[in-house]
A = this chain, B = another copy of it.
Amino acid sequence: MKIKIGLLGLGTVGGGVHKLLSGRKEAIARQIGSELEIEKILVRDIAKARGLDIPPQLLTTDYREVVNHPEIDIVVELMGGIEPAYQYIRAALQNKKSVVTANKDVIADYGVRLHRLAAEYEADLCYEASVAGGIPVLRGLVQGLASDEIYKIMGIVNGTTNYIMTQMTEAGLDYQTALKQAQVLGFAEPDPTNDVEGLDAARKMAILASLAFSAGIKMETVKVKGISQVTAEDIQAVKEFGYVIKLIGVAKQENGKVEVSVEPTLLRDSHPLATVKNEFNAIYLYGHAVGQTMFYGPGAGEMPTATAVVSDIMEVARNKKLGVGGKGLWQPTAQPVMKTADEIEAKYFLRVVVKDEIGVLNKITEVFSGHQISIENILQKLEKNQNQANIILVTHRLIQSNFEQALLELQKIPGLVDIRSCYKVED
């Protein structure tokens, strides 16, 4: 039995998928009991040199030759971006073809709808590669930890920002230099906004949270803050308290309410996530029964991402062969209720510059206690050659809305020069 595959897109990941399917053809056939064969590939330019051994008649510029092809069983979407990828995936599912995709944008925005469509047409829909490239974390969540209730996820799910933060921390680079270095090495795009402002990570966290909490979590409900404001000075300052700064996605569910955020966050330097360096990704899961587990690996790249895509293809092919395609699908069982700022609890790190005058510190602590915020740790340091002091503090757990009000009041203290930085702390 041969299972036929149509590819939409033949860029970096598409090329990797082609290499893996051809290079490991026999091993894969042995494992799943069926041969996998690429039947048609949608490309933009048929004449383009790709360095891949592909018969030209496999290539087409018309997506319908893939999604409507009568012999194709599985459509693999590797184009990226919302449109037209979303329409092509819909068309494939409506033709009862199972879909494997690496497209986090489409899944974050339309995952629930596509799952519904897939169930309706008895097709499979898999997207392991959409989150954390080569790390099989979606399977871990949905199958490996299926019996447990996962109540918290912390993820380093963007390699670009993790590379930049690692270089700032270890080589002492400033943000701009680290970003340029990431661009030279190909870890950051010429326009890095999507990565450095946390949008890419937010989409991945929405997907992880949706699967973990069985609810369609919308990207718009994710609180997002990028890394472009993190300074080398901040990194030094937190080090003295035993912390490192990472761009961390957090998804939590408590008493049926959900919060999802992506922001530069302080972690203890001994935390397993703190040791995830450079372009690597990791997802740290908290379950009531299992306790804490972590999945670590490459978050992007041609072959790691292709591994996830082809593993999905193999699963879909196996289901097809067993006649259970589209039968074991994840479906959201709950409507998510997002927490408000009155319900979100967190710890914060704060660095403020004040005039070196009597009473300023006292006024700051007064503002905090007025908002039921207590302080775990505080340090005051004179700045060189200036009549100013740096006050660095870490709060105990507080209510987010109280903290926001306290920050507004702090700014009115006459002796306060500047709130230099403010980060969430995850202990």
Contacts and interface: CB of A to CB of B under 8 A. Distances in A.
Interface of A: 16, 20, 24, 27-28, 30-31, 128, 134-136, 139-140, 143-149, 214, 270, 272, 275-276, 287-298, 301, 303-304, 306-311, 313-315, 318, 322-324, 327-328, 333
Most buried by B among A139, A294, A303: A294
Given A140-B144, A291-B304, A318 B310 contact: no
Nearest to A309: B147
A303 B289 contact: yes
B333 A328 contact: no
Nearest to A144: B136
Contacts of A306: 147, 289
Contact of A24 (B136, B140, B147, B272): B147
B296 A296 contact: yes
Q: Which of A139, A146, A148 has the most chain B CB atoms closer than 10 A to its own CB? A: A146
A308 B298 CA distance: 25
Contacts of A297: 290-294
A358 B391 CA distance: 60
Contacts of A143: 136, 139, 143, 311, 315
Contacts of A310: 146-148
Given A275-B275, A296-B296, A145 B324 contact: no
Contacts of A313: 147
B290 A303 contact: yes
Contact of A324 (B214, B293, B322): B322
A288 B328 CA distance: 30
A112 to B, nearest CB: 16
B20 A147 contact: yes
Contacts of A147: 20, 24, 28, 306-307, 309-311, 313-314
